[in-house]
Structure 1
Amino acid sequence: MFRHAQLESVKAGIGDPAHAGLALHARIQRAIRQLILDGALEVGRPLPATRPLAQSLGVSRDTVEAAYRQLHAEGFIERQVGSGSRVSQRARPFAGGKAQRRGHAPRQAVRLSTRGQALRATGGVTGATQHAFAPGVPETRNFPLQTWERLQREVIRAHGSAVLAHSPAQGVEALRRAIADYINLERGGHATPERVLVLTSSQQALTLCANVLLDAGERILVEDPMYHGAARAFDAAGLRPVPVPVDAEGMQVEQLPQLAAGARAVFLTPSHQFPTGATLALDRRLALVHWAERNDAWIIEDDYDSEFHYAGKPTACVQGLDPHERTLYIGTFTKSLFPGLRIGYLVLPPALVEPMTVARSLMDGHSPTLTQLTLARFMEAGHFGAHVRAMRHLYVQRRDALLHLVRTQLSDYLVPQVPAGGMQLPCLLRPGIDEQAVLDGARRAGVALQGLSALHATRTPQAGFLLGFAAYTVAEMEGAVAQLAAVLRRTVAGRRRAPR
């Protein structure tokens, strides 16, 4: 018979809420199996007969018999007529004693590959919180969900079980055509369906660019400050980023001749520079295209939220100005529609379509067919454009509301930098305020902030924060501003009391 502790362990396994969805015999089987794996039941140890064990557990004999049959089928116990059941010799690697028990084995340092260490060192790119003021998060409560559901049903009726099959690694043709039409009409690009690669996100696009275009140790020019997701993708690939300063007109392209020796690519966010919000001037765009052609280099253009401009038409994308086909254009629907969509894209030079598609197929194969076809219909029917226009109107109201709150309630601490577009408001800290202390205090108060210092490569970065406004109502921003004001007051007061 089981010892008292073993019997109680089986009873606990039966009552474990994590196994509530399992049949009773399966819960008993798992509990006994765990005793064997933990070494609590040694090899050759007899198990109780089914009848007395059933009485002890308060279950039917058939239930225990079903549990034993499964343990026997898996090789954990041996059964012989007249000899009963006992722990199998096959379980010896697990049932070798207490030293083998789960949680008792000595911990050893995990050995990672050089690439694995580089990936881990980046810290990854975490999903955005729903707390104000997380930057780059779109409003989802106003998304036309009923329209999306109707289109999805239409796709299922039209395509049937084909929507359950694999998609081409490059993406379904209907969506690639819709994306190309949109880029050409709204962004002044030169795109065709054959040059579009459908992906899960702009982050996947950055990872592809970093690993397919350049080798570890090669130089890539980047904006200073720059988008943290791109920095981590480049670090993980072992690239050597070369920072190029940014001013009110974007990347200072005139500095490329002295900085760009040996650089194979340049990465930038020309429509709304992240995080400053600056727009790359036309003369600089043209100079950048000329530099790439002359140096046989690539331009990686991340157009992450160009849909949301609040004054006139946005400047044409660099890809549309490049006659030499040296530009890779990255776009995403995560910002313009909703993060759970998980669809982004690359518009590629013709020579890169095949190698990039092959590389993508090794990452995750393809994007869901049903989602791609639904998005294609959403765009073709004009719903995408209508939603973007509605969000553009809403976001500019929220930007102005947040700007008013900062100027009236946080002016002693923050200096806002008004963006002409985008989904976040850059704010510089006034001198003498510790950025990290504010970040720590805000996190404890449930206020999400993106610090600016970490986005700079220079030794004297501009301290401050990005305040996202797109996803939050005025009332939500008012509450978050009040919390942030309290954090700033405590931070400043603490600094004054600190011993000098």
Structure 2
Amino acid sequence: MFRHAQLESVKAWISDPAHAALPLHARVQRAIRQLILDGVLDVGRPLPATRALAKSLGVSRDTVESAYSQLHAEGFIERRVGSGSFVSERAQRLQGLGNTARPRTQHETTRLSQRGSALFQGGGVRDFLLPRAFAPGVPETRSFPLQTWERLERQVLKDYGTQALLHSPPQGMESLRRAIANYVNLERGARATPERVLVLTSSQQALTLCAQVLLDAGDRIFIEDPAYHGARKAFDAAGLECVPIPVDSDGLRVDQLLESTQAANGAAKAVFLTPSHQFPSGATLALDRRLAVIDWASQQQGWIIEDDYDSEFHYAGKPTACVQGLDPHDRTIYIGTFTKSLFPGLRIGYMVLPPALVAPMTVARTLLDGHSAPIPQLTLARFIDDGHFGAHVRTMRSIYAKRRDVLAQLITEHLADYLEPRVPAGGMQMPCLFTRDLPEHEAVESARRAGIDLLGLAALHASSRHQAGFLMGFAAHAPHELEAAVKKLATVLDTLCG
């Protein structure tokens, strides 16, 4: 029989709310198993008869019988006809394992690989899970044509049946690759074919692939300064040496890039660009600089990694043609995403690759997640082909332009003592520079506690040459919501400044 303490331990395990989701027989089984693992019940120790234990626990005999049967099947107990149930000798090897889940002391550390440490210390990339003001890069989802999407998804399931439930080719569904190629050729001036498109889950995955497939640890890569934090973290985690190149109103300072190339002992093997809307300044890379970067890549046999993350939203004339479409040497990797143009939950991005990189990138992708889900891919292909994507982008472009202007006006009216807006020609967020000395990190944290998400500008710089401020997203919020959030931010900053 169980001692009183052992019986009470089983009762406590059964009644613990943390185990409430388990069936009763499983709770009894796991409670006894834990006593065995902890060494409380020694090898050869007899267990109570099922009837007696059921009475002690206030449960049915069938419940205890089911628990014992499972313990026997797992090798924790032996059942002898006419003699009862006993702790199995095989359980002796497992005793003591029950304590392995104890909390670590402050002196214990988890040993990670160098790569694992770099990934962890880099902090990852934070997604803004809820569209709180002023989370950058978050689109308006309330205006998305959900009924149209649902109708197209039903068509996909009807036409493909159970075929849509199978694996997608790792390069992506052919219909979506064709739709993407047609779209970027028409709207972005790209030189794409379906065979050169690789469908991914995100632009972040594309950056990780570029860092791992194109460069080795210790290799140098030019990055914009300031730069998109997700790119820099991907490159840092891969062990690359990021060389910052300053940005001005015309984008990346290509003259500085060329000077760094001449001065360096080992030339950089790639350059990372956000040429349509430089992140976070919003500057557009001038045409002569685009051509100069292309010449650099050709001469150095380097790679251009072009992140075209939100080029659909350009508010003054037509957006400039992408670098990839201007590059006759096939040294440019073009990265795009539907996360910002449609909705974050879609999780579809893509790369347009030089022909020589299609097979290596596709094989490398299979080691990350295998493939993207077929049903969203097939639905998106129809959404693009039927003209719904273009119509949605045009609608949101108009809405976002108005919201950009509203935010700029609200900052001028309510935050002029603290911020100066730099109104971008496109995109979904606005850089705002401090007009007085403020502790950026403290301001960001104070705003977060008040329900406002801001991205600090200083943290996006690799060099010490920077101006502090905020990157403020405006796309996901209506004018009255922006007004309320600006007034709340004004209160936060008033309190911070005393």
TM-score, normalised by the number of residues in structure 1: 0.95
1:409: which partner in 2? 414
In the other structure, the counterpart of 1:498 is: none
Residue 50 of structure 1 corresponds to which residue in structure 2? 50
Cα pair 1:423 1:468 within 8 Å, conserved:
yes
Report how far residue 105 of structure 1 moved.
Answer: 6.8
User: Which residue does the alignment assign to 1:222?
Assistant: 223
> Which piece of structure 1 moves more, 53-62 or 186-195?
53-62
Q: In structure 1, what residue type is equivalent to 2:293?
A: L
Deviates more, 1:2-11 or 1:251-260: 2-11
1:184 corresponds to which letter in structure 2? N
Contact 1:43/1:95 (8 A) holds in 2: no
Give the equivalent residue in structure 1 for 2:238.
237
Which moved further from structure 2: 108-117 or 61-70? 108-117
Q: Structure 1: which amino acid aligns with 2:14? A: I
2-structure distance, mates of 1:358, 1:236 = 21
Q: In terms of mean alpha carbon deviation, does 131-140 or 347-356 score higher?
A: 131-140
Match of 1:433 among 418, 433, 438: 438
Give the Å deviation of 1:474. Answer: 2.3
CA distance in 2, matches of 1:381, 1:263: 43
Secondary structure of the residue aligned to 1:197 is strand
Greater Cα offset, 271-280 or 8-17: 8-17
Residue equivalent to 1:496: none
Q: Which of 479, 484, 490 is the equivalent residue of 1:479?
A: 484
CA contact (8 A) 1:129 1:448 kept: no
Per-residue CA deviations over 1:240-285 (Å, capped at 9, x if unaligned) read 1111110001001122221124111000100000000000011111
1:78 aligns with 2:78: yes
User: 1:179, 1:259 → 2: CA distance?
Assistant: 36
Residues 1:390 and 2:395 are matched in the alignment: yes
Judged with a 3 Å threshold, the aligned counterparts in structure 2 of structure 1 residues 331 and 104 are, in CA distance, closer, same or farther, namely closer
**How many percent identity over aligned positions?**
69
Name the structure 1 match of 2:101: 102
Q: What corresponds to 1:132 in structure 2?
A: 133
1:296–1:92 Cα change, 3 Å: same
Other-structure match for 1:461: 466
Secondary structure, aligned partner of 1:448: coil
Residues 92-491 of structure 1 correspond to what in structure 2 (within 5 A)? Answer: 92-96=92-96, 100=99, 102-103=101-102, 108-130=108-130, 131-260=132-261, 261=264, 262-491=267-496
Question: In structure 2, the residue corresponding to 1:222 is in which secondary structure?
Answer: strand
Q: Distance in 2 between matches of 1:101 and 1:459?
A: 46
Q: 1:155-208: CA deviations, max 9, x gaps?
A: 111111111111111001000000000000000000000000000000000000
Distance in 1 between the 2:332 and 2:408 partners?
A: 35
Does the CA contact (< 8 Å) of 1:41 and 1:95 recur in 2?
no
Alpha-carbon distance in structure 1 between the residues aligned to 2:146 and 2:340: 16
SS at match of 1:168: coil
1:204-241 alpha-carbon deviations (Å, 9 max, x no partner): 00000001001111110110000000000000000011
Tell me the SS of whatever aligns to 2:46.
coil
> 1:143 aligns to what SS in structure 2?
coil
Aligned pair in 2 of structure 1 residues 162, 254: CA closer, same or farther (>3 Å)? same
Deviation at 1:97, TM superposition (A): 8.8
User: Structure 1 residues 104 and 327, CA, compared in 2 at 3 Å: closer, same or farther?
Assistant: closer
SS at match of 1:314: coil
- Go from structure 1 to structure 2 and tell me whether the alpha carbon gap of 1:96 and 1:363 turns closer, same or farther (over 3 Å shift): closer
- Residues 420 and 5 (structure 1), Cα distance of their counterparts in 2 relative to 1, 3 Å cut: farther
CA distance in 2, matches of 1:381, 1:320: 25
Does the C-alpha gap of structure 1 residues 79 and 126 become closer, same or farther in structure 2, counting only changes over 3 Å? same
Paired residues of 1:214 and 1:264 also in contact (CA < 8 A): yes
1:8-19 to 2 correspondences below 5 Å:
8-19=8-19
Which range moves more in the overlay, 447-456 or 72-81?
72-81
Hey, what's the Cα distance between the residues in 1 that align with 2:224 and 2:96?
A: 58
Question: What is the alpha-carbon distance in structure 1 between the residues aligned to residue 356 and residue 369 of structure 2?
Answer: 22
How far residue 52 of structure 1 moved from its aligned partner, in angstroms, is 1.1
| SS of equivalent residue, structure 2 residue 367 | helix
1:104/1:369 CA distance change after superposition, 3 Å: closer
Q: Which moved more, 1:420-429 or 1:434-443?
A: 434-443
- Match of 1:79, SS? strand
Structure 2: which 5+ runs fail to align? none
8 Å contact from structure 2 (residues 37, 97) kept in 1: no
* Aligned-partner Cα distance in 2 for 1:303–1:232: 18
CA distance in 1, matches of 2:195, 2:448: 45
Q: Could you say what secondary structure the match of 2:318 adopts?
A: coil
**Alignment-mate amino acid for residue 242 of structure 1:** V
Deviation sequence 1:410-434 (CA, Å, 0-9, x none): 0000000000111111100113222
When the two chains are superposed, the root-mean-square deviation of aligned CA atoms in Å is 1.6
AA in 2 matched with 1:338: F
8 Å CA contact 2:156–2:375 kept in 1: the answer is yes
Query: What residue identity is the alignment partner of 1:164?
Result: L
In the alignment, residue 236 of structure 1 is paired with which amino acid?
A
User: Quick one: distance in 2 between partners of 1:161 and 1:7?
Assistant: 52
Separation (CA, whole Å) in 2 of partners of 1:89 and 1:445: 59
Determine helix, strand or coil for the equivalent of 1:307.
coil
Alignment-mate amino acid for residue 44 of structure 1 = G
Give the aligned residue type for 2:69.
Answer: R
Instruction: Indicate the SS of the match to 1:82.
Output: coil
Q: CA separation in 2, counterparts of 1:59 and 1:415? A: 70
Alpha carbons 1:40, 1:97 under 8 Å: kept: no
One-letter code aligned to 2:277: H
Mean alpha-carbon deviation: is it higher for 418-427 or for 109-118? 109-118
State the distance in 2 between where 1:346 and 1:5 align.
Answer: 63
